[in-house]
Amino acid sequence: MTPLLAVSLAPAVTMGAVIGSFMSVVASRVPPLVLDSPGGRVRLTRLFSTLSWPGSHCTSCNTELRWWDNVPLLSYLVLRGRCRKCHAAYGSKYFLLEAGGAAAGLASVLLYGWSVQGALCFLLLSLLLVLSAIDLEEMLLPDVLVFPLLPLGLLYQSWYGGGLASAGLGAVAAFAVMWAIGASYRLACKIDGMGGGDIKLAGALGAWLGVANIPFFLIGAFASGTLVMSAFLLIQKSGNKEPLPFGPFLALSAALLVLTPQTTAFLTALLAP
C-alpha cells in the first residue's frame, strides 16, 4: 500500500469507526424502544430522542463517559472494555460494531472511492451490521431500521444496477419466496420457521440486488445458515433447541453481492450450460 493510498483511506476507517460507535448505541437502545411501543411501531420523534439522550454512559454506575473514554476502538482497548470508574464490563458488542464500521468504511472506499455509490454501500453495511447485532441478541429485526432499506435499495439499483424495474421485481421476488418458504414450513411443522422481520428484510435487500441476483442471494443466505445451524446442533446440549436468527445470513449474502459485483458474473458463468 502506497503512503498516498493509506492517507486517503484513513478518513474512511476513522469515519466508519465513529459511525460504528453510533450503531452500538442504536443496537442497545432501539430494541427496548420497539418492545415498549404498541405493535412495534416507533414514532420518529421518540426514536430521535431515545438515541440522543442520555449521552454515552456506563449502564452499571450511570457515569457519563468523557470524550477520551469514548474514542472508537482505542478507548475500548485501553480500558480493556471496562468502565473507568466501576470497572464493569461493557461487552464485546461495542468494539465489534466499531471494528465492523471501520471495515465497512474501508471496503466501501476501496471498491467505489469517495462517491455516492460508496456512501450508499457504506450506509447499507452499517444498517446490516446493526440489524445483525440486534437479531443475534434479541431475535428481532425492527421495522424502523428495515424499512429505510427499501427506498435506498430502489435508488441504488436504479442508479448503479439494472434499473428501477429490476429493483422492484427483486424486492417482490425475494419477499414472495421468503413468504412462501415460511408459509410452507408453518403448514408442515405447525410452527413458525421464518420470522416476519426476515421476510421484510429479504424484500428490502432484494431491491438493492435486483431481480437477477435473487437466486444467488437466497441460496447464499440459506447455505450459510444451514452450515452454521449444523455446527450449532452438533455442539449444543441434547434437547436444547434454541432458534437461530436468520437476519445475519441474509445480511452476509447481500453484502457480498453488493460489495463484489464480480461475484454475480462468476456465479452466472459457473451455472451457465
pLDDT tens-digit readout, 19-59: 998 998 899 888 888 887 777 777 777 778 878 787 777 66
> Which of 108, 125, 141 is the endpoint of a domain?
141
pTM of the shown model: 0.87
pLDDT in tens, 211-270: 999 999 999 999 999 898 888 777 766 555 677 899 999 999 999 998 876 555 555 555
One domain for residues 84 and 185: no
The residue length of the chain stands at 273
One domain for residues 95 and 21: yes
pLDDT in tens, 102-139: 999 998 888 888 899 999 999 999 999 999 999 999 99
One domain for residues 123 and 182: no
One domain for residues 45 and 69: yes
Q: How many domains does the chain have?
A: 2
Q: Report phi then psi at 95, rounded to 5.
A: -65, -40
One domain for residues 127 and 16: yes
Mean pLDDT of 68-95: 77
Helix (H/G/I), strand (E/B), else coil: 161: coil
> Which of 141, 164, 188 is the endpoint of a domain?
141
pLDDT at 150: 96
Task: Evaluate if residue 162 carries a pLDDT over 60.
Answer: yes
Task: Evaluate if residue 3 carries a pLDDT over 80.
Answer: no
Q: How many CA atoms lie within 13 A of 75 on its CB side?
A: 18
Measured distance CA(218)–CA(206) in Å, rounded:
10
One domain for residues 129 and 156: no
Omega before 54 cis (within 30°)? Answer: yes
One domain for residues 158 and 270: yes
Helix (H/G/I), strand (E/B), else coil: 57: strand
* Torsion sign across C-alpha atoms 232, 237, 238, 242: negative
* Torsion sign across C-alpha atoms 213, 219, 224, 228: positive
One domain for residues 208 and 112: no
Domain coverage including residue 235: 147-273
One domain for residues 200 and 162: yes
> Which of 102, 119, 141 is the endpoint of a domain?
141
One domain for residues 22 and 118: yes
Please report, as a single letter, which amino acid is at residue 241: K
One domain for residues 186 and 102: no
Q: Is residue 4 within 8 Å of 21, Cβ to Cβ?
A: no
Best-predicted range by mean pLDDT among 161-165, 193-197, 239-243? 161-165
One domain for residues 69 and 157: no
